[in-house]
Amino acid sequence: MGLLMSSGLKGLEYSPGLEMSFGGAESNVAIGLARLGISAGWFGRLGNDPVGRRIFKAIRGEGVDMSSVLFADDAPTGLMMREKVGDRSSVYYYRKYSAASAMRPEHLNEAYIANAEILHITGITAALSNTCRDTVFRAVKLAKKHGTKVSFDPNLRMKLWSAEEARPVLLALAEQADYYLPGLDELRLLYQSESLDELFPELNKLSAVKIIKGGPNVTYLLEQGKLTEVPYFQVKNVVDSVGAGDGFCAGFLAGLIEGHSNEEAIRLGNLVGSKVIQAPGDWEGLPAREEVEASLAGRGHVER
């Protein structure tokens, strides 16, 4: 989507100007992977309009393959507006009748999915329309057909659908995933329980490797009934928490593709997420490979 942000810490209705960018969970992950040196592609449907063309060029400029992106002449690119007032951020979506909301299963490129090592999906696309929901399930089916692993982040957005609407769809996708990456708050809504002692047995019923974000200073790894806690990287200056989960997914998937253990991949995801929250914007703070390696090696930044 196109993204309009109020300037400074003023609300949208009082801001004298708006900063223009773009945002989207899946494209954030793709950019994060590309910056880490991983071959990544993004596919979706954009309006054939200035906003859509700007998004296409920007993501392609980050090194992400865009060869399977479709442009629509009959629908606009979706839009969101975001404001940050004090420590509270608010997002407003304008996605109904957008090009992305009209995606259908026949828009998918089967060969593109078949050639991937991992297909990463989120619940956001499934929330946009019934045809988008069908498209997501079809993409998963194609991935399974060709031996492509499926990574699934539910990314529950309450402004797009209610927990009651989302629950059966997201749980069905979780059952088909190879890697399931929910947030702890999302799990509480999806499984209608506040207790970890109740949540973890439910998750153990899934065949996927479970990575639970948002624990108390840790990310949980639940694999074959064993629970492992992977500590966060602590930061002093949190500027903007938006995009942290997408950064985590990018780091985690990069670790998997590089052959690291699940625990090591989570550690990389935690590090990338910690970098994202130190800069404004959805994806701008995603680190390059050199920055990540310097942090892992304990090397400080040389200013001049």
Interatomic CA distance for residues 197 and 195, integer angstroms: 5
- DSSP sequence for 177-209: -SEE--BHHHHHHHHT---HHHHHHHHTTSSSE
Total Cβ atoms within 10 A of residue 144: 15
With beta carbons less than 8 A apart as the criterion, state whether 270 and 245 touch. Answer: no
Torsion from C-alpha of 151, 154, 157, 158, nearest 10 degrees: 170
The active-site residue, picked from 153, 240, 246, 282, is: 246
Q: Helices (DSSP H) in the chain: which residue ranges?
A: 25-35, 50-61, 110-114, 123-128, 130-146, 163-176, 184-191, 196-203, 244-257, 262-276, 289-296
Residue 246 designated active-site: yes
- Count CA atoms closer than 13 A to 283's CA, side-chain side: 25
Tokens encoding 244: 């942290």
Interatomic CA distance for residues 251 and 245, integer angstroms: 10
- Beta-carbon contacts of 195 under 8 Å, excluding residues fewer than 6 positions away, are none
Could you tell me where the beta strands, DSSP code E, fall in 23-117? 45-47, 70-72, 79-85, 88-94
Residues with a known catalytic role = 246
